[in-house]
Amino acid sequence: MLLSRLLCVRPGVTALTGGGGKTAAMYRLARELRREGTVICTTTTRILPPDHLPVADGGAELAAALARLGCVCAGAPAEEGKLGAPGLPVAALAALADYVLVEADGSRGLPVKAHLAHEPAVPPEAGLTVVLAGASGFGRPVREAVHRPERFCALTGAAAEEPVTAENLARLLEAEGIGDMVFINQAESAGAMEAARRLAGLASRPVFAGSLRGGIWTCLS
């Protein structure tokens, strides 16, 4: 099954938050959704420029790229060679394309993200928000696997030296209450999938798991 079908992505704005695969998920969804309509990939934080999509900023430039290719990345140059949010607001992007996919969080490449009160930067236009976490974080100390480990500890009661588990990650997700569903990426081993299943049993939202790299995924709840 296509990832976009599994997650029930509909026309409009979809936001991706958390850690462990936001960018990969955004571009996977873009490839799938391009078959159904025009797609803009963008960010409310910062992302690396894609090497497989044109980058544009401005209504006329974006419209021209969409008419030519059907899919474009919207962003403005930022520090360290990254792209920041484009000049147009998300609502204007949604008027240009059938689908707008927004990377709405940063995790410094770590598999798990604990959020401060002002995070994540989900646009109000988002009709669907997916929280991602990487199964590669399971079993690793919180201080190594989590962006903002002190926040993770405060919300879950775990110590920084303790491993990330299905149970304390579930406590984090429930305490934060962010998003409509959870996707556990990097679930490429039996142990990782078992941890994801335990998490699904504790979560109040739908949980999906699989491997964006391997192109496999399933619904766990």
Rounded mean pLDDT of 41-54? 95
In a domain, 2, yes or no: no
Contact present, 178 and 154 (Cβ < 8 Å): no
Residue 119 confidence (pLDDT): 95
CA dist 67 → 60, 71, 93 (Å) = 11, 9, 14
Quote the CA–CA distance of 157 and 94 in Å, as a whole number: 40
Q: Give me the domain span that covers residue 68.
A: 10-219
Rounded mean pLDDT of 65-91? 95
Closest CA to 131 of 208, 193, 41, 196: 208
In a domain, 4, yes or no: no
Joined together, the tokens standing for residue 80 give 């360290």
Residue 20 confidence (pLDDT): 86
- Which residues neighbour 220 within 8 Å (Cβ) at sequence distance 6 or greater? 196, 197, 199, 200, 207, 208, 209
Q: Residue 106's domain is classified under what CATH number?
A: 3.40.50
How many CA atoms lie less than 13 Å away from 202 in the CB half-sphere?
17
Residue 65 pLDDT greater than 90, yes or no = yes
In a domain, 5, yes or no: no
In a domain, 114, yes or no: yes
Residue 15 pLDDT greater than 90, yes or no = yes
Say how many domains are in the chain.
1
User: What DSSP line would sit under 8-69, residue for residue?
Assistant: T--SEEEEEEESSSHHHHHHHHHHHHTTTS-EEEEESS-BPPPSSS-EE-SHHHHHHHHHHH
pLDDT bucket at 80, cuts 50 / 70 / 90: confident
Joined together, the tokens standing for residue 8 give 């029930």
Rounded mean pLDDT of 124-145? 98
In a domain, 26, yes or no: yes
Residue 17 confidence (pLDDT): 98
Residue 113 confidence (pLDDT): 97
In a domain, 1, yes or no: no
Residue 151 confidence (pLDDT): 98
pLDDT bucket at 174, cuts 50 / 70 / 90: very high
Residue 140 pLDDT greater than 90, yes or no = yes
In a domain, 164, yes or no: yes
Report percent pLDDT > 90 for the chain: 96
In a domain, 41, yes or no: yes
